Every structure is written in structure tokens, then in C-alpha cells.
Amino acid sequence: MASPQNTRKTYTLPSGDKIPAIGLGTWQSPPNQTAEAVKHALAAGYRYIDTAFAYGNEHEVGEGLRASGVPREQVWITTKLDNPWHKRVAEGLDASLKNLGVDYVDLYLMHWPSSTRPDDLKKAYDDWNFIDTWREIQKLQGTGKVRNIGVSNFGITNLEKLLNDPSCKTVPAVNQIELHPNNPSPKLVAYCKEKGIHLTGYSCLGSTNSPLYKDKTLLALAEKKGKTPQQCLLQWGIQNGWDVIPKSVTKERIEANFALDGWELNEDELNQLSNLKDRFKVCGDDWLPVKVFFGDDE
């Protein structure tokens, strides 16, 4: 059996476009370090960068892309519409494209199902919601500025509302959600699979200071495999069928997170990680003006 080549693995979206199995995440990447991280990731072989208007680092992502010398068309770029821009979708996209210094993005996501008022971030619009936002995002298709459209942080409750609305003509190609063994979301994963929605796993390493790194099962598995716990977590995601976007600005970690070729987890090892008992979420919804997580993912 040929050894797995995960760094060249892709998942095909409904458009026919192929999203790489591993990308560089940039949420919480410190200012003045993101451009160098992007440049180094591309030099190490990454061909996928995930960013968002809300991260405030699209400009640096574009800088790193240009400095890398890798042609734009060889790199998958995902960015996201910020919550206060829900009534200004076309302008939101243009702002991101300008920041990035590119003509198009490969994937444009609604970052959260929260149509937040720009004049008061603690309040949501009373005459607009994520269904209206998706109606406007669908209009971006055919402009040449987005190749694929999707959502992020959507659970089953909100996906049901969206998909059952008559204005929803295009099923989101991707739902980017928090996915790691302490937030495995099996019901949501199965629901998206049934609907043909590909998943991207964010906080796939459990994020900064994760309790995962004290988990005896994970640590024992990593030691047995001769791999880092992070590498095992990334394999778990990819082998379960979604792409992963580990964030790092450290050269050594960027390279280590990409060292996923030539080995894999067997079924028993995958099950061990899938059955970890502890639960925690990195991202809640208490900072939003609306509730978006309803405990329906597991």
C-alpha cells in the first residue's frame, strides 16, 4: 500500500475546485509576524492560507504571498465576511480583496451567523439576518471575485433554517467549524456530509494552552507513533475527511505541522481520539448579540 501523501491531498468541492487538506491558519497570529509566517509556510510547501477580515491581518497575508514568489493561482486563499458587514456584502468582499492585494479569493465565508449592527456591536439588526446575508453572498457568484462560497460557525439549527429558506439556491460549499477530539461534533459532521457540505476544522489543535496536551491517551499515542501530539491531531482531522488549518508563526512548528506524509493513524488509533471523554470549546458565542450554538452538534 502506497504511503499517504497528505500534503498533496485535496477535497473536491461542488464547483470542481480542490481545497488542500492542510493550510496555515492565521487567527490570533500576532501583528508583524503573519507575513513572515505565510512566506515560510509557502516555502515549506503549504498551498492554502486561511484568514478573515476580522483577524486584521489580510494585508500581511497578501504581503507574505507576494514575498514568497509562489504564483497567486497556486495558493488557495479563504477569507471571511465580518459580522458588521452583513448588509454590505459586496463592499466587504472588495475590502478583503484590497487588503489581500488579489483579484479573487478561492473561498469566501460568512464568518458567523450574526448580523451585527456596526454602530453597536452588542446588538443585531432587527430587519436582517444570516438568511438575508446568504442571499447577498450568492450574488457574488459569477463576479469573478469568488470561486466558492460557504459559511462558518453554523450548527444544525442554523443550517436547517438556511437550507430550507426559498432564497437559498446554492448550498454552502464549506462550513468552517471548531473541530478537535474534545469538540468532535459528530452529529454536525454527519449532517454536513449528508448535505454535501465540506468541513474545515479550525482550532484543530485545540488552540493556545489547550487541555488536550495533558490528555494521557493523546500523549501516549503520540509517543507510540514517534510524532508530536499536534501531528496526531492533524492526522485525525484529515483522515476523518475534513481539511485542517493549524495556526503557527514559528518556523519549526509550521514545518512540523506539515510533516504528515508517509504515516497515518490506524482505525483503533483514530477511535481512541474520537472517543476522548473531555469536552471544551475554544470559541463560544457569549460575545455575540445572538446565540449561535445550541448544543445540537453531538
Residues labelled as active-site residues: 55
Q: What are phi and psi of 261, to 5 degrees?
A: -90, 150
Q: Which three cell numbers stand for residue 177?
A: 467549524
What is the rounded distance in angstroms from the CA atom of residue 169 to the CA atom of residue 81? Answer: 19
Pick the closest to residue 175 from 167, 162, 38 (CA basis). 162
Kind of pairing, strands 24-25 and 18-20?
Answer: unpaired
Answer for the pair 83, 110: CB distance below 8 angstroms, yes or no: no
Q: Grid coordinates in use for 291?
A: 446565540
Tell me whether residue 263 is exposed, middle or buried, using C-beta atoms within 10 angstroms of its C-beta: 0 to 12, 13 to 18, 19 or more: middle
